A = this chain, B = another copy of it.
Amino acid sequence: MIAAVSGTAQPRKKLLGVLGGEAASPPPIWLMRQAGRYLPEYRAVRARARTFLDLCFSPDLACEVTLQPIRRYGFDAAILFSDILVIPYALGQRVWFVEGEGPRLEPVRVVTDLARLDRTNVRGALAPVFETVRRLRRELPAETTLIGFAGAPWTVATYMVEGASGSDFAVVKDFAYRDPAAFGALVDLVVGATVDYLVAQVEAGAEVLQLFDSWAGVLSEAAFRRWVIAPTAKIVEQLKQRCPGVPVIGFPRGAGMLHADYVRGTGVDAVSLDTTVPMALAGALQELVPVQGNLDPRLLVIGGEAMLGEASAILRGLAGGPFVFNLGHGIVPETPPENVAALVRLVREGKWR
């Protein structure tokens, strides 16, 4: 068992307070994919790594890009620079990134493919990531929370089976429907590896964990319960035992009406909301747990009154309770950095009231 790393003499960090159920004024803000291609200083560091995975596995470079948006904007949280596909990589699957197209994996489609995956080396294969976390924890400002993360099992398994980010999820759905026992074995393997990975992140200094389920929104209700809620619940349960006191944020993107069932069924401490979640649902979810979200990343590209107006509406609706300002999905590369600055000013200066 690991005690949550927190200096008892220090004032509590804003994000941790909110995830503990407090309302903060102004609310904390960080943005998904805040370390990324929209920043010129990121692109400069990216150019020094041969591949995207090399960047993730270089503590020097990964630490630097994680810190860049903190220096520029003073976000309340830094999120470890890594990728959800380091889990398939650590399991022994071949993973690579095609510039401008996204990830590619040698797909797992039959039981014999599964037998080639090895769960025993997650900590070894991902040691550089934990070194990055350790350095970040030392280098971050005292008020900045460090968030670790992983992909949720359904989303990770989707990439493992499809071999790429598919558009209709035909291959993975057919696998799951045709042979739920084999697909379940794959999901369980990912659950175990993910727990090992996240526990090691906490040991290295991560103070909050987020589970990204980017493709949660493509499933029927029965499949959502089986492949999203159940495996996430297993992860949360093991995390609660092995690193109590570390809040877990779930992000079941596209979960629609099933958000409340997700929150109740998984035991996550907070829920991150995608752009489509309407205010009435966000408010209802906030009765259950702290919520995070959910500005459309395209509005950050546009900026100006369109962005400020919608961001203000979100703040007016949710900042009275436990709330973390964020986007509904990751920042896109064409975002002008000055729009991010304007958004942070809006949140911090409280002109949305």
Please list the residues of chain A having a beta carbon within 8 angstroms of any beta carbon in chain B: 167-170, 173-174, 177-178, 217-224, 254, 256-258, 261, 275-281, 294, 296, 298-299, 301-302, 306, 310, 313, 328, 332
Contact = CB atoms under 8 A, between A and B. Distances in A.
Nearest to A219: B276
A177 B298 CA distance: 8
Contact of A277 (B170, B257, B279): B257
Given A167-B167, A256-B257, A328 B276 contact: no
Contacts of A256: 254, 256-257, 276-278
Contacts of A277: 221, 256-257
Complex copy number for this chain: 2
Nearest to A180: B306
Contact of A224 (B222, B254, B276, B299): B276
Nearest to A221: B278
Nearest to A304: B178
Which one of A222, A261, A328, A332 has the highest number of Cβ atoms from chain B below 10 Å of its Cβ?
Answer: A222
B302 A220 contact: no
Nearest to A257: B281
Nearest to A176: B298
A59 to B, nearest CB: 32
A278 B306 CA distance: 33
23 contacts: A170-B298, A170-B332, A177-B298, A177-B306, A178-B302, A217-B254, A218-B275, A220-B275, A220-B276, A220-B296, A220-B328, A221-B277, A221-B278, A221-B279, A222-B310, A222-B313, A223-B296, A256-B257, A257-B277, A257-B278, A258-B276, A258-B278, A261-B278
Contacts of A261: 278
A254 B253 CA distance: 12
A208 B177 CA distance: 34
Contacts of A306: 177-178
Contacts of A169: 298
Contact of A298 (B173, B254, B280): B173
A258 B277 CA distance: 9
A224 to B, nearest CB: 7
A219 B224 CA distance: 22
Nearest to A313: B222
